[in-house]
Chain A
Amino acid sequence: MVFLGRLRDLAERDEMALPGPMDWQVLLQAVPSSVRDALQDDRVRVACGGNLVADKSQLNAVDGDEVALLPPVSGG
């Protein structure tokens, strides 16, 4: 699991390994509570295996997938 942008500061780490399979509820329980609160923001998107997940609550990651937590972009 990879933390991007300000989520990296909230998590106090760049990444974290979790066993698969992993759904959104498992992920929410696994991350620090500061990150969990931030993930409630609808603008926070999730990518799994390099692809954006349309509805993050439907996340279904398997062993080996990289899950990225993407806060709102600040643009180039």
Chain B
Amino acid sequence: MRLDIRLLDEPFAPDQAFGAFTVAFRESGGIASFVGHVRPGNGVTALELSHYEPLTLPGMEELARAALARWPLDGLLLWHRVGVMRPGEPIVLVAAAAKHRRAAIEAVDFVMDHLKSAAWFWKREQRSGEWHWIEPRPEDHADLARWST
């Protein structure tokens, strides 16, 4: 079992990272992934993600361990950007390798729901030259509740 958890303050190429992951886990029966981009629209010209070093990466590592405790995974990759990003830029890549597909697919879904609602990130977006903080959305907490049984 291998974990690859990173906080990145520079742009990254999800296709390359995922390519390397599929090579590293060619013995796994199934690999699932999710890539999140900065969504264009609503006049958003930039998105800034800030974090708190002592909590954010340890929180991501704890989340990865929770996924491992729940599904039999061969490998889990979780890369997350911080800093200023433009619409269309990748923010996050999650990939999971397992013997069978369902564990891989569900683990990625689980990690994303937790990242969206419970990870130590603060987001603000720039519209018409002004920065606006983004508040937590109730939907994110509803997504999280899917896993509480």
Where the two chains meet, the residues of A that have a C-beta atom closer than 8 Å to any C-beta of B are 2, 4-6, 9, 47, 50-52, 66, 68, 70-76
Tell me, yes or no, whether B86 is within 8 Å of chain A by CB. Answer: no
Residues of B at the A interface (CB closer than 8 Å) are 36, 49-50, 52, 54-55, 80, 91-92, 115-123, 133-137, 140
- On chain B, the residues within 8 Å of A9 by CB distance are 133
Question: Quick one: given A74-B123, A75-B121, are A47 and B80 in contact (CB under 8 Å)?
Answer: no
Q: A4-B50, A72-B136, A74-B121 are in contact. List 16 more A-B contacts (CB 8 A).
A: A4-B122, A5-B122, A5-B133, A9-B133, A50-B54, A68-B52, A70-B52, A73-B117, A73-B121, A74-B122, A74-B123, A74-B133, A75-B116, A75-B136, A75-B140, A76-B91
Chain B interface SS verdict (over half):
mixed
The residue in chain A whose Cβ has the minimal distance to the Cβ of B135 is A74
List residues of chain A with CB within 8 A of the CB of B50.
4-5
The answer to whether residues A47 and B136 also contact, given A5-B50, A71-B122 and a CB cut-off of 8 A, is: no
A-chain residues with CB within 8 Å of residue B55 when the two chains form the complex: 47, 50, 52, 68, 70
Among residues of B, the one whose C-beta sits closest to the C-beta of A9 is B133
Separation of A48 and B60 alpha carbons in the complex (Å): 19
